[in-house]
C-alpha cells in the first residue's frame, strides 16, 4: 500500500516538473517558414444543370457571351439570330477560387470555392464545367470541375420566399486538379527563416531561447521582431525535413501588447489578459428620451363652412436613471474589470463608451482598437 502511494506521488511530481506552461504554444502555431505558403488561384467558369435559377441571359451580357464561346469551342456554330433568341435560365457564370497549398505536385486534388457572378438565385444542383485556375502571373496552375455542394436552400414564389443560408455560392471538395507546381524546395543545409504571424520582440527572443536550449547555443538568432533565423546543427542526425519537424514541436510562451478590440456595429468586446487600468472612477447612468406624436382632429360645427383638419400633438418624456459611481483600483486584471463593470449594469455598448472615456482620461494601460 505504501509502495503504491509513494509511486503515485513520484509520478505526480514528475508530471508537474515536466509540465508545459499553460500558455505555451508550438512553434508551428506561431510562425511560418519563409517561402512556404499557399498561393491564390482564380478562374471564370460556367455552372450548368440549374433548375431555372440561373442567370437571365437577356440581362447578363457576359453570360450570353460565355455561352456563345463555349458552344463554338464544342463545334456548335449557330447564327446570331439564334443566340439572340436564347432564354435559358439553367446556366450561370461564376468565379472559381482556390488555395494552392505549398509543395503541391501535379495531380494533387484541391478544394475549390464557386460564387455566382450574375443574377442567379441559386446554384443548388449545378455542375461546374472545366475551368482553368490561374495565378497572379497569368499561368494556369489547376483545372476545376465537378458537382457543387451548396450549404443552403431557397424556394418560394412571387408573393413569398423562404431561404436558409446562402445559395449563390458552393464548394467542390477535391474538384481542382493541380497541373503545375510552384517551384520551391527546402535547402538541404543552411538557414531556415521563420516569420512570426504576430510580430513581437519578446516572442522572438523566447523562441530563440527555446530552440537554443533544444539544439545548442547559436542554433537560432533573432533578426527582428518578426523574423528568426535557424541553422541546422552539424551534429543533427536527420535531414532538413526531420529537423523542421523537431523545430515545430518546441513549445514557446508567446507575448503581445495589451489590447481591447471593440466593434461598435455588433457590440462585440474582446480584451486581452494583460490589459490594466490606473485608478479611475466610473459613473454609469442612462438618459432615456421618449418622443411621441398623436393626431388630433378639428371638426367644424354642423352647417358651418369650415373643413376637417388634423393637428399633431407632441409629448416629450425624459427619464434619467440614477448613476452609480464605481472606483476601479490601479492594476486590476481582466476579470476584475469585467466584474466591476457588470456590477453597475453596463451593457456591451455602454462598455464601449466607458472604455473610450477611460482611454481618453489616460487611465487605460493598453491599446484600444475600434473596428
pLDDT mean over 139-154: 86
Q: How far is CA 352 from CA 134, 144, 344, in A?
A: 44, 46, 14
Q: Which residue has the higher pLDDT, 219 or 327?
A: 219
The pLDDT of residue 74: 84
The pLDDT of residue 10: 40
Q: Is the pTM of this model over 0.75?
A: no
The pLDDT of residue 64: 84
Here the cell at position 89 is 435560365
The pLDDT of residue 160: 55
d(CA 104, CA 37): 11
Q: Which residue has the higher pLDDT, 115 or 350?
A: 115
pLDDT value at 58 more than 70? yes
pLDDT value at 317 more than 70? no
pLDDT mean over 228-250: 88
Q: What is the mean pLDDT of the chain?
A: 78
pLDDT mean over 183-200: 82
Q: How confident is the model at residue 146 (pLDDT cuts 50, 70, 90)?
A: very high
d(CA 100, CA 176): 10
The pLDDT of residue 361: 77
Q: How many CB atoms lie within 10 A of CB 260?
A: 23
The pLDDT of residue 133: 95
Q: Which residue has the higher pLDDT, 251 or 19?
A: 251
Q: HSE on the CB side for 293, CA within 13 Å?
A: 4
What is the dihedral sign for C-alpha 53, 55, 59, 64? negative
In this predicted model, what pLDDT tens digit does every residue of 272-314 receive, in sequence order? 777 777 777 766 565 443 444 455 666 666 666 666 666 655 4
Residue in the structure block whose three cell numbers are 439564334: 82
pLDDT mean over 311-336: 57
d(CA 60, CA 264): 38
Name the nearest CA neighbour of 43 among 109, 100, 123, 126: 100
**Picking from 11-15, 141-145, 304-308, which range would have the lowest pLDDT averaged per residue?**
11-15
d(CA 103, CA 112): 18
**Picking from 21-35, 113-127, 158-172, which range would have the lowest pLDDT averaged per residue?**
158-172
d(CA 194, CA 216): 18
Q: How does DSSP assign 311-326, residue by residue?
A: EEEEEEEEEEPPPEEE
The pLDDT of residue 176: 94
d(CA 286, CA 342): 15
Query: Quick one: residue 349, left, alpha or beta (phi over 0 = left, psi -120 to 50 = alpha)?
Result: alpha
In this predicted model, what pLDDT tens digit does every residue of 63-74 receive, in sequence order? 888 888 888 888
Amino acid at each position: 500500500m505504501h509502495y503504491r502511494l509513494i509511486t503515485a506521488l513520484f509520478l505526480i511530481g514528475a508530471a508537474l516538473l515536466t509540465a508545459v506552461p499553460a500558455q505555451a504554444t508550438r512553434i508551428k502555431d506561431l510562425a511560418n517558414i519563409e517561402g512556404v505558403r499557399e498561393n491564390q488561384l482564380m478562374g471564370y467558369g460556367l455552372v450548368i444543370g440549374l433548375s431555372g435559377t440561373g442567370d437571365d441571359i437577356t440581362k447578363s451580357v457576359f453570360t450570353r457571351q460565355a455561352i456563345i464561346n463555349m458552344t463554338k469551342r464544342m463545334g456548335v456554330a449557330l447564327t446570331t439570330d439564334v443566340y439572340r433568341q436564347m432564354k435559358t435560365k439553367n446556366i450561370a457564370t461564376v468565379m472559381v477560387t482556390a488555395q494552392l497549398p505549398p509543395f503541391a505536385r501535379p495531380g494533387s486534388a484541391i478544394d475549390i470555392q464557386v460564387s455566382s457572378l450574375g443574377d442567379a438565385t441559386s446554384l443548388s444542383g449545378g455542375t461546374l464545367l472545366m475551368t482553368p485556375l490561374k495565378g497572379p502571373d497569368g499561368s494556369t496552375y489547376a483545372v476545376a470541375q465537378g458537382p457543387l455542394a451548396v450549404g443552403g436552400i431557397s424556394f418560394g414564389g412571387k408573393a413569398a420566399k423562404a431561404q436558409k443560408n446562402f445559395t449563390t455560392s458552393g464548394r467542390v471538395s477535391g474538384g481542382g486538379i493541380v497541373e503545375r507546381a510552384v517551384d520551391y524546395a527546402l535547402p538541404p543545409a543552411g538557414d531556415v527563416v521563420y516569420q512570426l504571424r504576430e510580430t513581437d520582440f519578446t516572442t522572438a527572443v523566447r523562441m530563440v531561447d527555446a530552440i537554443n536550449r533544444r539544439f545548442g547555443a547559436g542554433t537560432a538568432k533573432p533578426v527582428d521582431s518578426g523574423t528568426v533565423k535557424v541553422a541546422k546543427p552539424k551534429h543533427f542526425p536527420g535531414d532538413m525535413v526531420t529537423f523542421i519537424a523537431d523545430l515545430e514541436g518546441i513549445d514557446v510562451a508567446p507575448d503581445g501588447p495589451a489590447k481591447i478590440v471593440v466593434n461598435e456595429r455588433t457590440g462585440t468586446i474582446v480584451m486581452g489578459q494583460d490589459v490594466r487600468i490606473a485608478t479611475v472612477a466610473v459613473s454609469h447612468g442612462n438618459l432615456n428620451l421618449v418622443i411621441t406624436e398623436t393626431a388630433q382632429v378639428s371638426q367644424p360645427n354642423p352647417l358651418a363652412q369650415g373643413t376637417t383638419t388634423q393637428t399633431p400633438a407632441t409629448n416629450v418624456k425624459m427619464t434619467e436613471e440614477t448613476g452609480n459611481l464605481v472606483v476601479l483600483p490601479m492594476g486590476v486584471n481582466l476579470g476584475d474589470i469585467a466584474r466591476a463593470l457588470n456590477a453597475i449594469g453596463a451593457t456591451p455598448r455602454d462598455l464601449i463608451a466607458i472604455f473610450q472615456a477611460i482611454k481618453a482620461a489616460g487611465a487605460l494601460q493598453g491599446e484600444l482598437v475600434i473596428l
